[in-house]
Structure 1
Amino acid sequence: MSTYRYGRYVDGPDPLAPPADLRAAMDELGREVMEGASPASALRELLRRGLPGTPGLDDLTSRLWRRRSAIQRRHRLDGTLQEVRRLLDEALEAERAALFPDPDDAARFREALLDALPAGTAAAVRELAAYDWRSDRARESYERIRTLLGQELLDQRFQGMKQAMRDVDQEDVRRIRRMLDDLNALLAAHARGEDTGQAFRDFMREHGEFFPERPTTVDELVDALAARSAAARRMMNSLTDEQREELAALSRQAFGDSGVGARLAALDSLLQGLRPGEDWDGSARFRGDQPLGLGEGAQAMADLAELDALAEQLAQSYPGARLEDVDVEALVRQLGAEAGVDARRLAELERELRAQNLLERAPDGSLRLTPKALRRLGEAALRGVLDSVRAQGRREDTRAGAAGELVGSTRPWRFGDTEPWNVPRTVANAVLRGGTGEIRLDVSDVEVSETEHRSRAAVALCVDTSWSMVQDGRWVPMKRTALALHHLVRTRFRTDSLELITFGRHAEAVDIGQLTALEGVWEQGTNLHHALLLAGRHVRRHPDAQPVVLVVTDGEPTAHLEADGTAEFNYPPLPRTIAKTIVEVDGLARLGAAITVFRLGDDPRLAQFVDLVARRGGGRVVAPDEDGLGAAVVSDYLRARRRR
């Protein structure tokens, strides 16, 4: 029989992982927007923080910085110098051990030569280039210095070369020299703008073993080599002057007089010309105790550069930034597969928010909430308001007037309902519950037909958008109230006409999207006069509708509109401001509109003014707290319709 073994899925994202929680994401977006953030900044904030079970960009960036700090904290860049010094000391010790038992004067002369070697590692290695070693072990250690330098010098510019070339013999040197000649010729032709497609293919066919990353074009080859060469330059810049001089001197001895060093210098010059945008002059401070060789140091510098680039991608701070810009493969290289999964989930969340038609681009290029997203926010706001209404002992009115016209939908009967029973639905529920035998009705079977009244209302909701609303924490409750009322009118009282009017220094009629995305700004003035003027204009456009005017404010009028359209502000309010506002109150009263003012806060001057408005206009004053504002406004709207 065949046997099967099951394990953790490792080839990319988990196919059984739950999808992105769009509802939670939409709730978070809505909360940020309601607090005054733009949709674009709200989306950035959501992606920055993430969601439960999905780490955000901040978490990924924090892991990047920890990885970067660990590289610099653990390592130092003088590993090649230390290794060369160790091999040199090993060679000298073995040579002296071989010379010591020899009584010949030639042995003493050799010892004198060894004692007179310069203190510097590079100078000592150079002095011993022509020395005739008596000890085979000493000769082997010295030759390993040259091999090591050759490997490190190549590994510094060609990733993985140290592992690929265990020994560097004369044949290897010839192959390297031939590859560098062909590479420099290819890059020089590319720099002149020549067509190098065939030359590149020929080059890779002959020298592909030197390039384990397997580039497919000349540009990919240049990108890889330039990034490595720039990292090598930054590594040298990070050394002390003494260390840099020692390595430069040792590098000249790596391949003897083969000319490889000159070819590498020419390669660096070509790469710098082709990719001047690389960081050729940077440096970094390493403070650890684990030494790195030339190749490892260049890789460490390349890792630091890649970490910096990833941090910039995750910051999403440039115009048009998208999470698809993040190099997930680089993220996996630096932080592991789990980080790649987290980045893909965030990118998926961003794509789904756009694909689900929750965000769209405005004509000016900015992001905004779509009508679908606004409906979701309105639904949530209304649900919260109605829950508050029920908690206060008031029952939701599902009818829009007294005529009781059927709308075609049904719902389960609740205690106190006066709508007619829907007999077919009620009987069907009883049959489904009790089977095909004797049918016995139960209260749970009853469904009633929903009705809608034929009366219409012209509703003007005027909301204060002065700075005090933001400062005193009333901004979000005000927006949530407007959303709830808008959703109620659009879904349950579709024949009503709702106008949303904001008033600060000036008043303006806005749609629900503009109000939801409105940001609080420092602006002095509470121009209720202008707001009531716009409300009256809305009421006059609907002469056959019941006028309903609702005002939410936390301050007395301190501005009014002049005939030329300018707003005059003064605090304390001018008598002219109060007078012009009362004129509009009287005008609305003549149109049959009783103004309900929702007074926020305990300002005695505001209380005095709104009492005057209630007496003059036959309206009333409601003083809810911030949490009860939505319930108060919606209840008053329903009360006004019931009164009709």
Structure 2
Amino acid sequence: MVSRFNYSRWDGTQRGFEFDAQSIVDEITDDLLYHGDVNAALRRLMQEGMRNERGDQLMGLREMMQRLRERREEIKDRGDLGGVYSEISAELDDLVDEERHAIDEALMSAEQSGDQRRAEVAKESAQERNFRLDMLPSDLAGKINELEHYDFQSSESKQRFEALLEKLRQQIMQQMLDQMSGAVENLTPQDIQRMKDMMAALNEMLESRERGEDPKFEQFMENFGDFFPENPETLDELLEIMAQRMANAQAMLNSMTPEQRDQMRQLSEKLLEDMDLRWQMDQLSQKLQGMFPQKGWGQSHEFTGDEPMGFSQAMQAMQELGELDQLDNLLRNASSPSALAEADLDRVREMLGEDAAKSLEQMAQLTKKLKDSGLIDQVEGKLELTPSGLRKIGANALRDVFGSLEKDRLGQHQVERLGVGHERTYDTKPYEYGDPFQLDLQRTLRNALQRQGSTVPLKLSADDFEIEQTEHLTRSSTVLMLDLSLSMPMRDYFLPAKKVAMALHSLMSTQFPRDYLGIVGFSEVARELTPQQLPEVSWDFVYGTNMQHGFMLARKMLSRQSGTKQIIMITDGEPTAHISKSGDVFFNYPPVRETVEATLSEVMRATREGIRINTFMLDASHALQAFIEQLTAINHGRAFFTSPENLGEYLLVDFIEHKRQLSRRRGSRRAS
């Protein structure tokens, strides 16, 4: 059946840039192997971001927070807070100029009237008015206070002044009420009264909850829900919204100079006569500061723009800065991808762009995708690899190691996947009862044709069956000794060594499933490790390279196994620790003769038991070379001086060649 595909123009609804579990695991493999912690690996992925195989970018939190900083600077560069009341202040100055002009006109009219008494009174009045205008304070609050007691010459100027007072009163009231509601503009006396009722009800709800009573949140929302366009679903959500609004307003005050704050205080005291409203607000502010101390009540911002900002502009800037601070706090404190789901993606899109919002949405799904794919699971509050995840990490390590090999190192082909317990010889034989039915179809059909001729249809009989001949694979038992001493990560050897350990485990469990692989980690002392523990194994924060104890455990593990036996040791230093006859750990650097002899004694025991020791050295120091020469002279194993870059190449190629040699030797014995 022919596949059909329909193509359409991109309209923003299609979802083509996904990050699947495969690409996530590929990204965290090295980090997981190095630190041994799924949670830590995901946190670092969150910080740095990633690209999938198609080149799509998942933006990391570090880049997002840089955008946040840049966005903050853009907002702060919009203007100067000194202009919060600049518009009214400018109108007031224009009004004073208009009053001076009216004074001059009245004086000129009196002087031209021919009435000397009138002219004298007008001149005296003009001098007094001009003197009072000359002595007006420079600050807005002081200027308003003086003009309220000033006898205007012009009735038009007096009317303009009263209109300005009402406008200023509305602005100050709006400033206060903006802290309480996101849905009230152009206040009327009825609006102000409803606001007072709402705040009284809100304070009563808090007091009811403190007394352990039902705060009746649903009833409150029925009466006053229109004040909250965010539509909070619980009392806690509502209080957090209110706390953020009031914290934004407080941040604006904190960002002003002391003189500007004092001016605003004076204006508020002078123009707001509603003491009940101010009391309700003070009560609520005190409670919210105690409930939400993390909202940044002491936050302040330094505005660097040149243009004076109006009051509404300043409040808008504070709201945006508050939202940026909230997002910054969320990103900075997110301990897992799922914590990012709390972000408001619409606001992130507005503040940081579509790519950031999309990245944040997908990043919040990282843990879920890995869980849904069966690669990780939650165990006692901690994320851990599942058996499937363990196999995936091992396969990645094996792929990375083999990906760096030159083709001719493995005969220019990938290692064949072998059947369980058997190895193909590419020979065939007639089928006999009891043989594994691994049919060679080509030879079977050829036998039928030779017997029957070209007559169709071709009929098969039991005598035609020919099967692939196999020989039993020689079993081998291996213990990998992995150096976990502190010098390994200090020299950047730990990750390559652990990756090779994972790769070897993956290779043996898939290609040579009958073989045995044990793992021993050694530093000051040695310990047996299971394959399940291997991804989470990290270096030990102790000094000491106790090969003697490692060989002791490896011998014990191999004593329970059959087949050819070998120990593969990866290390970067000579032995500096051993277990004394009393059972205590003895450590000394540089190595002392007692430690070297104790270690070589274990080598001799391994040699007598038929165990070969192959050593891969990551630091070709003179002392290490001298020790390994003694070891190989006793055991007749092989020694490789390698670097972190070619450790996997040396070790895995040597292991596979060892398997081939065992198979060839067995084949030769059977032929003879």
Taking structure 1 as the reference length, the TM-score comes to: 0.82
What residue is the counterpart of 1:77 in the other structure?
Answer: 81
Q: Quick one: which of 503, 507, 512 aligns to 1:488?
A: 507
CA contact (8 A) 2:182 2:227 kept: no
Greater C-alpha radius of gyration: 2
The separation in 1 between residues aligned to 2:69 and 2:621, in whole angstroms, is 51
Deviates more, 1:319-328 or 1:238-247: 319-328
Distance 1:536 1:71, change over 3 A: same
Alignment of 1:394-433 (within 5 A): 394=411, 398=416, 404=422, 423-424=440-441
| Residue equivalent to 2:314 | 297
Query: Aligned pair 1:98/2:102, yes or no?
Result: yes
Aligned to 1:263: 277
Deviations along 1:195-238, whole A, 9 cap, x unmatched? Answer: 67668646754x55554444455544433333222322232232
TM-score, normalised to structure 2, is: 0.79
Q: Deviations over 1:108-149 (max 9, x none)?
A: 365554344344321221233365562436623541342233
- Indicate if the aligned counterparts of 1:386 and 1:631 stay in contact, CA closer than 8 A: yes
Distance 1:516 1:391, change over 3 A: farther
Deviations 1:351-380 (A, max 9, x none): 3123323333344x4433333223223223
2:629 matched to 1:630?
A: no
Q: How does 1:290-329 map to 2 (within 5 A)?
A: 290-316=307-333, 322-329=339-346
Residue identity (%):
29
Q: Residues 114 and 63 of structure 1: is their aligned pair in 2 closer, same or farther, counting only changes over 3 Å? A: same
Residues 138, 342 of structure 1: alpha-carbon distance in 2 compared, 3 angstrom cutoff:
farther
Q: Report what 2:65 is aligned to.
A: 61
Residue identity in the other structure for 2:637: G
Q: Which amino acid aligns with 1:308?
A: D
Corresponding position of 1:591: 609
Task: State the secondary structure of the residue aligned to 2:639.
Answer: strand
Measure, in 2, the Cα distance between the counterparts of 1:423 and 1:331.
63
The Cα RMSD (Å) is 3.7
Q: Map of 1:133-172 to 2, 5 A cutoff?
A: 134-136=154-156, 139-140=159-160, 142-158=162-178, 165-166=185-186, 172=188
Aligned partners of 2:68 and 2:352 also within 8 Å: yes
Name the counterpart of 2:44: 45
C-alpha displacement at 1:67, in angstroms? 1.3
Query: What is the CA–CA distance in structure 2 between the aligned matches of 1:189 and 1:161, rounded to whole Å?
Result: 17
Superposition map of 1:432-511 within 5 A: 453-511=472-530
Match of 2:286 in 1: 272
Asked if the contact 2:420–2:514 (Cα under 8 Å) also holds between the matched residues in 1, the reply is no
Displacement after TM superposition at 1:535 (Å): 0.9
User: What's the counterpart of residue 187 of structure 1?
Assistant: 203
Cα pair distance change 1:230/1:204, threshold 3 Å: farther
Aligned-pair distance for 1:79? 2.6
SS at structure 2 position matched to 1:460: strand
Q: Where do residues 194-209 of structure 1 align in structure 2 (5 Å cutoff)?
A: 201=219, 205=223
Pair 453,468 (structure 1): closer, same or farther in 2 beyond 3 Å: farther
User: What are the within-5 Å matches in structure 2 for residues 370-409 of structure 1?
Assistant: 370-386=386-402, 388=405, 390-392=407-409, 394=411, 398=416, 404=422
Q: Which residue among 241, 256, 261 is the counterpart of 1:239? A: 256
Distance 1:214 1:629, change over 3 A: closer
1:567-588 deviation digits (Å, cap 9, x = unpaired) = 2112332222222222222222
CA offsets per residue over residues 13-54 of structure 1, 9 Å max, x none? x53232114333222211112334633222111111111222
**Cα distance, 1:180–1:596 mapped onto 2, change above 3 Å:** same
State the one-letter code of the partner of 2:159. Answer: R
Q: Hey, what does 1:412 align to over in structure 2?
A: none
* Structure 1 unaligned blocks of 5 or more: 1-5, 409-419, 429-436, 440-447
Q: Distance in 2 between matches of 1:634 and 1:350?
A: 33
Matched to 1:383, the amino acid is: R
Aligned to 2:374: 357
| Aligned match of 1:339 | 356
Is residue 234–residue 284 contact of structure 1 (8 Å, CA) maintained in 2? yes
Letter in 2 for 1:231: N
Question: What is aligned with 1:559?
Answer: 577
Given the alignment of the two structures, is residue 283 of structure 1 paired with residue 300 of structure 2, yes or no?
yes
Deviation at 1:559, TM superposition (A): 1.4
Q: Secondary structure of the equivalent of 1:74?
A: coil
Instruction: Give the conservation status (yes or no) of the 8 Å contact 1:92–1:138.
Output: no
Matched residue of 2:360: which SS? helix
Change (3 A) 1:549 1:42: same
SS at match of 2:73: helix
Separation (CA, whole Å) in 2 of partners of 1:591 and 1:118: 103
In the TM superposition, what whole-angstrom CA distance separates every residue of 1:444-464 from its partner, at most 9, and x where no partner exists? xxxx96957343222111122
**Partner amino acid, structure 2, of 1:192:** S
Instruction: Indicate how the Cα distance of structure 1 residues 123 and 305 shifts in structure 2: closer, same or farther if over 3 A, else same.
Output: same
Take 1:270 and 1:475, find their aligned partners in 2: how far apart are those partners?
57
Q: Tell me which moved more, 60-69 or 468-477.
A: 468-477
Paired residues, what number?
600
Shift of 1:347: 1.4
**Distance 1:274-1:478 versus aligned 2 partners, 3 A rule:** closer
Deviations 1:312-352 (A, max 9, x none): 21124558973224343442353344432221021123431
Between the aligned partners of 1:144 and 1:345, the Cα distance in structure 2 is: 52
Q: Tell me the distance in 2 between the aligned counterparts of 1:304 and 1:80.
A: 17
The CA distance in 2 between the partners of 1:252 and 1:450, in whole Å, is 102
| Aligned twin of 2:549 | 530
Partner Cα distance (1:91, 1:8) in 2:
58
| Letter in structure 2 aligned against 1:239 | M
Q: Tell me which amino acid in the other structure corresponds to 1:271.
A: S
Q: Which amino acid aligns with 1:624?
A: T
User: Is the 1:560–1:580 Cα contact (8 Å) retained in structure 2?
Assistant: yes
User: For the residues of structure 2 that align with 1:426 and 1:286, how far apart are their CA atoms?
Assistant: 86
Q: Deviations over 1:249-298 (max 9, x none)?
A: 2223435x4x2x54134323223224422443443322322333445434
| 8 Å contact kept, 1:75–1:288 | yes
Determine the C-alpha separation between the residues in 1 that align with 2:486 and 2:256. 56
Amino acid at match of 1:377: I
- Provide the rounded CA distance (Å) in 1 between the counterparts of 2:417 and 2:233: 70
Cα pair distance change 1:96/1:198, threshold 3 Å: same
Equivalent pair of 1:407/1:451 in contact (CA under 8 Å):
yes
Is the contact between residue 632 and residue 638 of structure 2 (CA under 8 Å) also seen in structure 1?
yes
Partners of 2:193 and 2:481 in 1: CA distance:
81
